[in-house]
Amino acid sequence: MFGLTKRDSTLLIIVILLTVLAPFILNPFPEGSAMAQFNAGYPDLMQRLVIFGIFAIGFNILFGLTGYLSFGHAAFLGVGSYAAIWMMKLLTMNVVPAIIISVVVAGLFSLLVGWISLRRSGIYFSILTLAFAQMSYSLAYSVLTPITGGETGLQPKVDDPRILDGALAAGQTPRANFFGLEMGTSYELELGNWIFTFNAGYYIAAIVMILAFYLSIRIFRSPFGMMLRAVKSNQQRVNYTGLNAKPYTLAAFVISGMYAGLAGGLLVAMDTQVGAERMFWTASGEVVLMTILGGAGTLIGPVLGAGFIKYMENIVSKINKSVLEQWFAFMPDGIEDFLIAIVYPFIGKGWHLTLGILFMLVVIFLPGGLVEGGQRIGRLFKRKKPSDDAADGKTTPAE
């Protein structure tokens, strides 16, 4: 299907089903139940899950295929975001030009950064990319305030020019739209005690994510992708095969920079605001963590890693003491207090602690990331060849 092998087609279909049915899958618990706290099927989080999925997919094209570990990818996301919001302020609130320009600008910026940084390899490359990203962040937060809004960032304002859009009706705020369909538009489906939200912005982002994912499969399976894996495996042999590695790695760098820009543009399309923190080194580190956590070099891994981290950030951080009290209310008082005391450090303001512990557990017990966890579960069901497990996983390029 679509020029993919059977395995890849199956994977693509699974991803399509997961994204299309996400409003159901992410809302497994009925409204008002104690577990509803864990529901993630609301537009903002669903949008973020797929957008950061795109970001991680793109990062994986660079890191997973070539092995070059960029520590500055958030800069491309940020630059894309700024380009998109300026498009919205100056031209139109339609998201299409904003997203296109974000990809283009991020691509140009990554061409510049990549062209310089790829002169070095290994950790020297990582630090070069980090340096560019930190400079972008620092300047955007301070001296570039007239362009970036600095600390308070940029949002569309009522009195922006928007030369392609008509004048706003009184009392209206400018809203991002897709040829008139506003990103915030939602339908809610009520089934018994369940509510499922179908949000226009989410589905637009999801379609872009599916396309991005499809494209990444094609890249992974192409001669170009194979060359990149060859560069990662043995750069010496690449050179002595008459190939210059630099154009390949640079192309991979720019492609992944454009993915980051796409993610940045979509973030603005879904939530019309940009702040410089988006480019801080921790944001670059986050996408590295997403990719490794999910499984670097695998197709689906980065998407899983992105989903995992964003879910933790948005769901666990919102559990507070009164929610705990509700959960354990049925217990006898002493045990209730005891359980709350035990769980409390890990939720709400302690969500970072939980995340840190999970990072360690995953990397200690699942060296190939979450994908390997999935594979192990899969093998439990199959129980066929327990012998060749060890050699596998690490080098298998896909899944």
The least distance separating other proteins from the CB of residue 332, rounded to whole angstroms, comes to 24
Question: Looking at the chain, which runs of residues are DSSP E strands?
Answer: 177-178, 181-182, 186-191, 194-199
d(CA 385, CA 131): 47
Q: d(Cα 186, Cα 196) in Å, to the nearest integer?
A: 10
3-state helix, strand, coil in the chain (%, to 5): 70, 5, 30
DSSP state of 278: G
Is 151 one of the binding residues for other proteins (CB under 8 A)?
Answer: yes
Q: How far is the CB of 189 from other proteins (least distance, A)?
A: 5
Q: How far is the CB of 311 from other proteins (least distance, A)?
A: 11
**Spatial separation of the C-alpha atoms in residues 308 and 313, rounded to whole Å:** 9
Size of the site for other proteins (CB under 8 A): 127
Task: Pick the closer one to other proteins by CB: 53 or 67.
Answer: 67
Interaction residues for other proteins, span 281-340 (CB under 8 A): 281-282, 285, 288-289, 292-293, 296, 313-314, 317-318, 320, 322
CA distance 101 to 123: 31
Distance of closest approach, residue 283 Cβ to other proteins, in angstroms? 9
Please report how close the Cβ of residue 216 comes to other proteins at its closest, in angstroms: 10
Q: Is 105 in the site for other proteins (CB under 8 A)?
A: no
Nearer to other proteins, 164 or 360 (CB): 360
Quick one: how far is CA 4 from the chain centroid? 24
Nearer to other proteins, 150 or 380 (CB): 150
- Exactly one of 150, 312, 327, 343 binds other proteins (CB under 8 A); that residue is 150
State which of positions 214-243 bind other proteins (CB under 8 A).
218-219, 221-227, 229-230, 232-234, 236-243
When binding is defined by CB under 8 A, the residue of 127, 312, 340, 398 that contacts other proteins is 127
Q: Residue 166, interface with other proteins (CB under 8 A)?
A: no
CA distance 38 to 316: 8
The upper half-sphere exposure of residue 396, i.e. CA atoms within 13 Å in the direction of its Cβ, equals 17
CB of 215: closest distance to other proteins in angstroms? 8
B/e letters for 306-334, b = 16+ CB within 10 Å, e = fewer, are bbbbbbebbbbbebeeeebeebbeeeeee
Q: Does 205 bind other proteins (CB under 8 A)?
A: no
Phi, psi of 252 (to 5 degrees): -65, -40
In angstroms, give the least distance from the CB of 304 to other proteins: 14
Chain positions 71 to 100 lying near other proteins, rule: CB under 8 A, are none
**CA–CA gap between residue 175 and residue 187 (Å, rounded):** 18
Measured from the CB atom, is 29 or 381 closer to other proteins? 29
Query: Is 141 an interacting residue with respect to other proteins (CB under 8 A)?
Result: yes
Binders in 337-396 for other proteins, by CB under 8 A: 345, 348-353, 355-360, 362-364, 367, 391, 395
253 near other proteins (CB under 8 A): no
Residue 46's Cβ-count burial label (10 Å; 0-12, 13-18, 19+) is buried
Q: Are 137 and 72 in contact (CB under 8 A)?
A: no
- Residue ranges in 5-24 that form contacts with other proteins under rule CB under 8 A: 5
